[in-house]
Amino acid sequence: MAFKKIKFVTDSTADIPEEYLSKYDIRVVPVFVNYNNTSYADDGKELNRAEYYKHLAELRPFPTTSAMPSSLTEKAVMEAMQDADHVIILTVSSKLSGVHNAFRLGTQKLPSDKYTLIDSMSVTSGLGLQVIAGVEAAAETGDVQKTIDTITRMREGSMVYAAVGTLEFLHRSGRVGWAAAGIGSLLQIKPLLKVEDGEVKQMAKVRTFSRAVDELVHVAHEYAPLDRLVILYTVDREGALALQERLKDIAPAGHTYVVQICSAVGTHLGPNGLGVVPVRASWKK
């Protein structure tokens, strides 16, 4: 079978470190954050994350997020096709966003044998790690099906967990049905969340944020030995580094990353979120 040049396109919720974007020429189409009667591309340029998170709790009306227009997805995929035999498109979970549909609409006029559209069933680095696993497999094998199989194994071998200071932001977003029920009592707890089957689910309820972080440490250890580990944060980088220190006994050397969550995802989590994305060492088998 001939070696194929495979390119990747994804959306900005993937939170992929810059080193991978440039090394593998990954095209990223930004989603949008809307507030003050303006839509900002969440590309790290139009919207300053530090400033945005600083004022997020005070903004009224509350910011919203939206998928990119299909014209942008079509443009990105067409550009990738010019320099590739096949394009793989990986998106944030279709259960959490309209991004997947924007790519579906944007590729309708393109030759179907030239691209593969995949729903990651995840978000932030849960999506990003699937892209990274895919580009590495594509560079090594040049085989579309083997690359897709690698992406699937990464999805099955990893999970996104997050601790948030309050459910208020998730409740306001309207993206998670259970967060709207009994909000008065839910606001008093510090939940541990996970992204499972493409949805945000609550897996534990604790009374303090420090206890929620303890739970993050616990669930990460359940995945050990690890192949990769991502520490996520919105504002509190020092908290993320402290969490990394607590996980140093299982953190894989050279494959542990501290990543700031993009503004679009942070809008729904709130400014005080921390998270972990552990990847089992067995995912490659």
Domain ranges of the chain: 6-31+67-156, 160-284
Pairing assessment for the beta strands 190-196 and 160-163 based on DSSP bridges: antiparallel
Length of the chain: 285
Contact call for residues 193 and 203 (beta carbons, < 8 A): yes
Phi/psi of residue 4, nearest 5 degrees: -105, 145
Average pLDDT in the 18-30 region? Answer: 95
In terms of C-beta density within 10 A (0-12 exposed, 13-18 middle, 19 or more buried), how is residue 159 classed?
A: buried
In terms of C-beta density within 10 A (0-12 exposed, 13-18 middle, 19 or more buried), how is residue 222 classed?
A: exposed
pLDDT of residue 180: 44
Q: Does the structure show a pLDDT above 90 at 26?
A: yes
Average pLDDT in the 171-181 region? Answer: 54
Report pLDDT digits (tens) over 124-150.
999 999 999 999 999 999 999 999 999
* CATH 3.30.1180.10 applies to domain 160-284: yes
Residue 174 or 209, more confident: 209
pLDDT of residue 125: 98
pLDDT of residue 177: 52
CA–CA dist 146, 129 (Å, integer): 16
Q: Which CATH architecture has domain 6-31+67-156?
A: 3-Layer(aba) Sandwich (3.40)
The token pair that represents 216 in the structure block: 């993050």
The token pair that represents 175 in the structure block: 């993206």
Q: Does the structure show a pLDDT above 70 at 181?
A: no
Report pLDDT digits (tens) over 41-88.
999 889 888 889 989 988 888 899 999 999 999 999 999 999 999 999
E strand or H helix that includes residue 21: helix 18-24
- Helices 209-222, 237-246: axis angle to 10 degrees equals 40
CA–CA dist 24, 7 (Å, integer): 8
Residue type, 7: K
Report pLDDT digits (tens) over 231-273.
999 999 999 999 999 999 999 999 999 999 999 999 988 888 9
pLDDT band at 184; cut points 50, 70, 90: very low
**Phi/psi-derived region of residue 73, left when phi > 0, alpha when psi is between -120 and 50, beta in every other case:** alpha
pTM score? 0.94
End-to-end alpha carbon distance in the chain: 23
